[in-house]
Every structure is written in C-alpha cells, then in structure tokens.
A and B are shown apart, each in its own frame.
Chain A
Amino acid sequence: MSGQVPANAFGQQCSLTLSGNVLDKGTNIPLHFSNVYIQEAEVGMVTDSLGNFQFRNLCAGKYHIEISHIGCEPELYYFQLARDTVLKIYLHHHAELLDEVVVHGHREDNTSQASATISAEVIAKEGNKTLTDLLENITGVSSLKNGSGISKPVIHGLFGNRVAILNNGVAQAGQQWGNDHAPEIDPFSANHLSVVKGASALAYPGNSLGSVVLVEAGDFEEDPHLQGNVNYIFQTNGRGHSLNTKLEQNADWAAWRVTGTYKKRGDTHTPNYFLTNTGNQETNFSTQLKKQFSTRWKSNLYYSLFNTEIGILRGSHIGNLTDLDRALNSKLPFYTEEKFSYNINAPRQRVKHHLLKFESKYFLSENAALNFKYGGQLNNRKEFDVRRGGRTDTPALHLNQYQHFFETVFNQEYRNGMLLKSGVQFNLVDNGNIPGTGILPLIPNYLSYQPSGFVILRKEAKKWFWEAGGRYDMKIYDVTAISNSIPRVFEYFDHQFHNYAFSGGVKYKFSKSLKASLNLGQMLRAPEINELYSAGLHQGVSGIEEGSRDLVPEMSTKLVGSVDWFFRKKLFIQALGYYQNIDDFIYLQPQSDFRLTIRGAFPVFKYEQTNATIYGTDWQLTFEPTQRLKIVNKYSLVRGVDRTQNLPLINIPADNLSSAWQYNFKSSDRFKNPFFSLSGKYVRRQNRLEEEQDFAPTPDEYFLLNASIGTSVSIGHSSFDIGISGENLLNTAYRDYLNRLRYFADDLGRNVSLRVNWKFGG
C-alpha cells in the first residue's frame, strides 16, 4: 500500500519515501487499520495488517504526522524529512499494560522489576483527583485516606514511611508522620505516574521496602513549535472546579515548559448528607527548562510549587474515647450542616511545598555518562485545630522541613550487553518546629544526614535480562527534644543506622507473547523520626502515641514474580505474586494500661517491633473480543500477619475486584475516538481483623458503578477532548476500611464530572 503525493508540493526534489509501522506501546503488537495522515502534504492512508505504511514522492521538508487508531489517543509527531526515512510509531492502545520502562524509554532504566503506569491521557481526564486517587487505577494500589482530600498510596500492603515517592527523581520530603498527611504533588504537573512493584529499591533514595512511586514530568517533543493545552474539569460532588494549563516549546535556545493548576472544591456529600468542612483549594505551579549545550552535555532545571488548604470533616475532631464513642453512635456526623459551603474552617491543614531540581548529564564517551543531580525542597505545614480562647487561627502544629539531595550517577555500557549503573548520594533533612503554637510539638526538631552509594549491574542477552546490585546507606539523626517532665528542658540525642540492600532479578522472554520475571531483594529501613520520638496525643487515633528510642532497622526480604501472557491479540493476562518477610517490623502496639489525663483516660500506643509477613497477588486480565470492545478486569488480594503475636496486621486493604468495559464507536472526520465505558468496583469486607484491634467493626463490602462517555473533536490544528463521567452512579452509601472518616461518616455519593481539554499548537 502506498499513498501518492503531488510531486511539486514544495517545488523541490520530491522523491523521498517515508515508511514505517504503527505498534502498540504496551504490547508491541502491530496496529492495523491505523490512520496515518501527513498534515503539510495533506495525504493519508491506513496501515496494513502488519501496521505498515508507506508514502512515496514526498519532498524534503518539515512535517507533522498524525496517527490515530480505534481506542487510542491520536498522536502527533514532528519530523524533518531529508532522506528516505523509516519511522516506528507507538500508540497507547493498551494503556493499562504500559510499564515504566516502556513509557520512559531509557535503556539504562530497564529493569526486571514489575511496574505499571498512569499515562498523560488518564492524568488529563482525572487530574482533578489527588495523586493517590489516580494511582489507585493500578492493580494492587489502594489508598489510605483521611477524607477525600488527604490520601496516601498503599502498595502491596505498605504505605507512608515504607513507600518512597520520587518527584522527578527526588525523594518527596514532606512530613509523613501519621496517616493524615498526603504527598504534596499535583498530578497535572506530571507527564506520567508509575508504580514500581519491586523487591528492592537500589537506585532510589528515600525510605522504601520495595515499592516506589515515580512522578515524571516527561521529555520534550521534537516539535519546535509552541504547543499547549488547557484543561477544565467540573465535578458536581463538592461543586469543584479544576483548571490546568500547560505551555511548552522545544525552542532553539532551550526547551521550556510551564504548567499552572487551580482547584477549588467545597463540601462534598454522601448520598444522604453534606460532609461539612471537607472543601479544599489548591494553587500549583511548575516550570521546566532543558538545554542541550552540546551533543555530550545537557542540563535540566525543574521547579514546582504545591500550595493547598484542606478542610477536615468537622465531626471527626474528637477529644477522647468517650467523644469517639458518642460519634460512633450518632446517625449523622456531629456538626453536619444542611447547606453547601466552600468555607474551610478548623480543623484544617495548609501546606506549601517547593521543589527545585537541577540535573546535568555529560557523556564521557558513546557508552558512558555521568549524571549529576541536586534536589532542594522546603515543606511548610500548618495544622489548625478547634481551640479555646481564639486560638483556632493559631496553628496547633507548624513545621518547616528543608531537604537537600545530591547525587552523582555513573553509567557505562559494555560491548557484551552489560550495563553498569553506580552512584553516590547525600541527603540532608532539617526539620524544625516554628515557635508560637502554644503546644508541645509531636515531632522534635532534628537534622538527618544520609550518605549512600549503590552499584547495579544489568545484562541483556537475547531472551534473558539479568540484574543484580547492592546499596548502602548511613543515616544519622541529631535530635533536640523537649523533656516530658517539668521543669521542661532540652534533651539531645543522636542515632546512627547502617542500612544495606541487595537484590537480584531475572526476566525471560519465552516468546513474543509470554514473558516472566522473578526478583528477590533484601533491604533495611532505619526507623523514622516519628517512630523514634512521637510523644503526645494524636487526634487521628484518639490515643497517646509514644516513640521508642531503641528501635532497630526493619529488615525486609521480598520475592516478586510476574508473568505477562498475550493470547492472539485478544487476551492479555498480567499476574503478579509477592511474599515479603519483615523482621523487626515497626508498628503501634496498644499498651495494657491507660494514661490518665485531664481529658480522661487514653489508650497508649507505643512503637514496638515484631516479625511480619505480607503476601498477595495482583491480576489484570484484558479481553478484546472485537476491535471495538475492550474489557479490563483487575483483582488484588493482600494478606498481612504479625507472626510473633499471631495476629492480622492492621490497615491491610480488603480484597477488591474491578471490571471496565469500553466500547469505541466509529470515528468521523470531526469526531475522533468516541467511546462509552462502564465500570464497576467491588470491595470485600476486611474481616481479617480481631475485634479488639479496632474501635469499630470494619465496614461492609460495597460495589460502585461508574460510567463515562467522551470524544475528541478536531477543529483546524486544535483538538478538543470532551467527556462526561459519573462515579458511584447508584449513589451507594458505603464506608471504606482504609478511610479514617469511616468512624464518623459515609463515603462520597454520586459524582458527575464534565471535562474539556483543548490542545493547541504543534
């Protein structure tokens, strides 16, 4: 098949051939019946059964080529044609099968560890949600919430201090004490989000016991023209508005990108009542600058600001266990208002997070490169409680955390397919309480220094991919605490921990449609400052939380195995299983005696250590009976056991199953990729818990029904992506085990979102 082009289009020598093939990025399967259209030449054709296309008699010049296929977001490529050219073009036909290696496309980042990715298309559609909500689209990821505005990802049963979040390669600092702190990242600032479900995290700084979340701003397109998009999403529940805009250009002097986001939402509602004081507001900004100084040297500068104010359900603010008991027995949450409001009152949080990153890469030779990175972060967190005597506007907690991170990585590729990646890192954290709260701080002031080094060896040989490596961290804390007896004095402590990690992995391609991988890793995690030094009443748990200064690092040994199997372009199965032993697992143990205070008797929870085992499985099954219909099913199961006490672990996600059916209608000239999708999610009751391990019985099982409809509309060089989607369409009243607000209120009722995305330029 070939398309003929008028020979005199540019009045030049017009005998060049452009050929290529179109493949699915997730599976490498050729996409036949793809539409390929060259805008400048005004010619188009449809790919054959092997995904091939060929245009003859093209003139030399600059072209934009548009490729579209049923159920894929159309892609626009820019290229300069100077000689006969063969292009390989990837579309996201199976976005649910994409992984980090494929999306990122850097060979040096290739790994045997399993990962999954949320692509730019999904972020554009659901960017009004939190980062964690978006990550929940990935099998095996749940979220631990304190209402709808505050959530953190739970991956393979672990969260918080045990899951590293890397924002553009820099470990997200932020204050991770307690379950009521969320990662301070705007999903709109990212090009893609990935979850590495690993056995070990060797190259990454930050705490992790295997799993890592990657937030990536992404590379620039080749296109030298100014391009951008404007994204607006309205949601009925909470009457929320999200406006995001992105501008970028790969100009001659440098490539630059700017994004800005504004979000405002008021009180959300359950099927039956408003959740008073659950609004939030966000103003975010990010900018990126990339400069290629020479063929050997390029640098990248990135800055982002995340700025949020979040209201916390008024009825969830309690003083002691009696209050909790009264709240549990109340039909409606206390303080529920009958009217909607955008007002945010105490209890509330205000968080500002700055991130500045500078990265410079220098190629020593064709096969060796040196990469230097600096990441600086400032996290300012204020928490406001309902207080007496006009102190409600004085923060009850006010912290500043500075973090400086330095990294030098050396990559060398050898002729025999061996790749060496090694690096040294230094991380410094300075955490300080800002005076004036009138409350003794929960977390003391401290400095932490962490020098680290790692080496990873990778080898690719035909069907095999091997990797092995090690890492060492030294972590030093200098702590200034305040005594808990009077007269109050400063007490100084220091700690030094040595952590190591080893891991090995192998990936084997049995055939084009079957591959398997196995990873084994062992790593240590030093106790965090809250585990060592928490002292005082934690509103979130209605108890007194006490750190233990003699904790030792946790030691995790994790085995992860995964299989990807494709059957005749119709059935795609991804199965993953893991088994993790954590010795000296740090957890909050309720103490036998209660602590008597002026506000009554409180249970005391102390950080202690035990031996734990977590295991589970993630399944994803995609079935494509016809070209137009795609069914994606996901199932995940996690079990957690305290082996020493023979008790289940708390905060382990309940078994869940989801199924999404998407039907793609025929595209017309104006309307591209119209679709309708219907999806359901079933979450079982978490019944693996002893009665005395919780304040209230775990919530019942629930089922949520969602639907969505959308299309792209092309007008000139611009394209509008519009859609309507509905969540919890049956308006089911439910509570989720991992949401702390379940003690007080139902979860969100029906929500309908309307979105318009305008892409321009290019």
Chain B
Amino acid sequence: MLRKTISYFCLLACLSLCTGCFDILEEINLNQDGSGTMLVTLNMSKSKTKLASIMLLDSINGYKVPSKDDMNEAMKDVVAHLQKTEGITNIKKTKDFDNYIFTIACDFTKVENINDIFKELIRKQNKNGGTQFTTKNFSFNSGTKTFQRDFTYDPSIKKSFARMNKEDQEIFDETNYTCIYRFDESVKSVSNKNAKISPNKKAVMLRIDAMSFISGEKTVQNKIQLTQ
C-alpha cells in the first residue's frame, strides 16, 4: 500500500509535468522493378520520461497501460501477420524500451504487397466504422514510372479526435508523420505541395504534423513521377 502511495504520489506529479509527443516514419526504398524495402519507425523517445511513468501505472485516463510483455506480444503478432502476407520477406523488428523506439522492416516483391498488409484491417474499419478509407495505399506503374501514395481523408478522423478528452488530444500537439521514398531513378515531379525532393533528385520527403493530418488540412496523398 505504501509502495503504491509513493509511486502514485510521484508518478502523478511526473505525468502532469512531462509533455508527450511521438514521431512516425514511413520509409520505402523502391527498386526499378517495383520491389523494395519498407521500414516503419515509431519513435516515442521525446516522451520517454512520461512513458516511463505511465508504464508503472495499471491504467491512465481510463485506458489500460500495456506492459512490456503486451508490447512484445503485439509486435510478434505484427510479424506473424507479415509472414502470412504474400510477397513480404526478410521481416526484421527492433525494440528499444529505454528510448521507446520500435521498428519493423521488410522486403516486398511489389508495392501492392504492402497494401495486402493493411487491406483486411481497413476493410474491417470501413465496415464497422462506416468509413471510406481506401485499401489501395501504394501503387507503382513501371510503364509510366509513377509511384503513388494514396489516402482518402475521412471526416471520422476529426470526429474521433473531437471525442477524445483534452489531455489525450494534447498528445498530438507535437506529433509528426514523415514519409520518405527513395528511388533508383530521378524524381521528375511530386503532386503534394508539402513534399520535398532531395537535392540529388533520388528521394522525396513529406513531413506533416498530426494536427494538420487530423483536420484534413494536409494529406500524405502523393503522386511521384520518375524520369522515364
């Protein structure tokens, strides 16, 4: 009882003092034949003090706090799902509980394989939540040399955010989503005005803050035209 009291006394103080934010990185290296590698990184390092506090609690703001074992299990599930997806190979995962950085990488034989990873999940969400998210998020036309990142904004994102309590909403204040796509060929043009082409013309980076994404002001939708 005493141990719990001390923990709560100090942890609640920490929780109210430390701010929270995180970054998501989506990186794709695309080969000429449409195959490539994908790396997704969740970096919560900036919030590690707060997360270390949260991890000592059973629940926060009515949500159950997952234990390290829970997170390990979740990552195992993701890997198992990837292993079952056609065209996905060489799956690697890393987890750093000191800095709260988690990555999953895989090779794909064609970008459409990546769509297959999330297809079922998105279908279920669309069916249960009445949303209209596209199940085709990545495509590459080797004939026209066009790489496309699709995304259909659904107002339910904004509604879900509005339903969250203010403390939870503040988590997204300094959260960013970064997409980096690297190619063998040079990039001729990009459709998303927020995307940047690297000086050597072989990569495109799009960094958007979570609040703009939630409000629909900015999108990850992008059509990248490579030189033929």
Are A and B genuine complex partners?
no
